[in-house]
Amino acid sequence: MNNLIPCPDGTMADKSIGCITAPSSVINAESSVTNLILKIANGLISIVIGLSVIFLIYGGIKYVTSVGNDEKIQEAKRIMIWSVIGLITSISSYVVIQFITGVIG
Does the predicted TM-score (pTM) go above 0.75? no
Contact 34, 104 (CB under 8 A): yes
| Signed CA dihedral, 73, 79, 82, 85: sign only | negative
pLDDT per residue over 27-63, tens digit each? 555 567 777 888 898 899 999 999 999 999 999 999 9
User: Stretch 61-83: mean pLDDT, rounded?
Assistant: 95
- State how far the Cα of 16 lies from the Cα of 3, in Å rounded to an integer: 8
Question: Domain residue spans in the chain?
Answer: 29-104
